[in-house]
Amino acid sequence: MNKILVSLVAVLAGIGSVLPAMAQEVTGLAASPVIIAPPQTPLAETIKQGLSAAYNGARQDSAAYTEAQRLYFFYGARHFEPIWLSTAANGEVAFSESAQKILKLFERAESEGLRPSDYLTPDLDPAAAKGDPLKLAALETAFSGAALRYATHIYTGRIIPSSVDANLDIQPKKLDDAALLVQLATSPDPVKVLAALEPTHPEFLALKAALATFDDSKTDRPAQIATGPSLKPGMSDPRVPALRARLKLEPVDGLVYDDAIVEAMKAFQATQSLDVDGVMGPATLTALNGGVPVTKSDIIANMERWRWMPRDLGQFNVFVNIPEFRLAINRDGAEEYTTRVVVGTTKNQTPVFSDNIRHVVVNPYWNVPSSIIKGEIAPAVLRDPGYTDSHNMDLLYNGEPVSPWQVNWNMVSNSNFPFRVRQRPGPGNSLGQIKFLFPNKHDVYLHDTPSKSLFSRSGRAFSHGCVRVENPMEFAGALMANEANISRASLEAMFGPNEKWVNPDKQIPVHIAYFTLRPNADGTLQSYGDIYGHNAKLIAAMGLSKPAIAPEIIAEVNTIVDDLSP
């Protein structure tokens, strides 16, 4: 009994504080006047004894003590009466009507991308507890644990993001466990209470619908075009007839990659955010063949990532999807503007997190991160002491420029290296003419770039972690659509040698996200490459399938997940 109660306390410790409406209905129990009502039945007395033992047995400065106290107060305010068990006229104890409805929901957990076995555990057996007050008390608390576990999983996900990868800088949303338990036990429709916790974003709902109809053995994919060399105008290839059929062109004699195919290919590439060059290269061939094959595990993993996202993305927001190499501005759920982006390399990954754009900086300085000073600039200066001058850079000591010729650059690996490097505004500045700031611990932001050629690549993972925007001034104009005194024209009028900061009246939510599946308008799923391996590692952490990643990575992930998963 004690062990089960302590386990429930541990579950509660990992959850903390339901939706704003619930938070308003039930205030913090520990902050309210504490009223412990005496138990009035033998079963209630048993529950009190077990909770009291967990409460008094925990160290007073520990999270376990705080959560045991909250649970003790919660049941104490109810005379320690159970909320999931009911007693019939003949004395038989069984699950209440609310509990039975929730049990049916547990049975259907697969439709949510969850596992019924996580909730329908062996200790939820009323028959095994019949006539034994101690076991009945344990049954009561075990059901509370299962209900809270399900609620947590459906609201904020099964897996803690940072346990999969440190670059997933997402804080799990919090539930008010006491308020939720009261609502579930007293609501005539507890299923509706739990259903209200799942994400409401249309993309999540489309993934859930796709999961309901998915059949691994009948993946809907077009007739496959065979692999081979890239095809350019005028080339001959035996794949041309199949390609004409795939592009719905009239059949003709011959194997020439003619003008009709080129134009049809350009139209197809435009719909897929590919290079519109009419050439059938590897990326275009993959898209023609339906993209990377979609599995049920992929759908469930992407549903999980939607549970990690903020419940409200903002009425007007910026959404960057790393695997898609694309940025979008959304208003009221509709895409208002989009452009290509360059993201971090696999070595210097762009982190996944949400924040708010607070500043726009025109003619920005580039304050070079210490990792780049150490890994790139110092070696370059050691080869050529004039490197910083030739790249329009200042070496700063206590904010003042000093000569790079007077510095021992071999000291750069020393943690006490006292110098900073800053690149001045100008045509060659790595941030281009404008950057969009949302101050964060990763020192990551959106910005212009002088390296425009990279946007023509299908795969665009080339930066040190920041997000480079292909059409930054178009983006700036769209971003400032709600600002009366800021426009693209007013920002362009500031171009020059001096850095200038502009502060919008309204902060704009920005979400740096990682989705390898996104629904199209017709309900089909568009797949994108798992460039950082986050999808494969999440699939492994969720126990969905064996991923194609190194065993040592899997072992590390599984160890962390075992320790941190709620």
3-class SS shares of the chain: helix, strand, coil, % to 5:
40, 15, 45
Helix H or strand E segment including 326: strand 326-331
Identify the active-site residue in 153, 447, 511, 534: 447
Residue reference for tokens 């996900």: 157
With vertex at residue 105, the alpha carbon angle to CA 101 and CA 108, rounded to the nearest 5 degrees, is: 145
Give the separation between CA 565 and CA 563, rounded to whole angstroms: 6
| Burial group, residue 44, by CB count within 10 angstroms (0-12, 13-18, 19+) | buried
Helix H or strand E segment including 356: strand 353-357
| Burial group, residue 7, by CB count within 10 angstroms (0-12, 13-18, 19+) | middle
For 319-346, letters b (16+ CB in 10 Å) and e give: bbbbbbbbbbbbeeeeeebbbbbbbbee
Q: Which neighbouring-strand residues pair with 397?
A: 400, 419
Q: Coil, strand, or helix at residue 204?
A: helix
What are the angstrom distances between the C-alpha of 398 and each of 193, 402, 417, 418, 499? 57, 10, 12, 8, 20
Give the separation between CA 565 and CA 541, rounded to whole angstroms: 9
Among 425, 411, 342, which residue's Cα sits nearest to residue 370?
A: 411
Give the separation between CA 260 and CA 234, rounded to whole angstroms: 11
Q: Among this protein's residues, is 464 annotated catalytic?
A: no
Give the separation between CA 137 and CA 122, rounded to whole angstroms: 15
What are the angstrom distances between the C-alpha of 311 and each of 11, 78, 202, 262, 481? 22, 32, 12, 43, 24
Q: Coil, strand, or helix at residue 447?
A: strand
Q: Among this protein's residues, is 153 annotated catalytic?
A: no
CB 565 within 8 A of CB 172: no
Identify the active-site residue in 153, 359, 442, 466: 466
Q: Computed over its alpha carbons, how large is the radius of gyration of the chain?
A: 29
Give the separation between CA 112 and CA 451, rounded to whole angstroms: 43
Give the separation between CA 450 and CA 61, rounded to whole angstroms: 54
Any idea which residues carry the catalytic annotation?
Answer: 447, 466
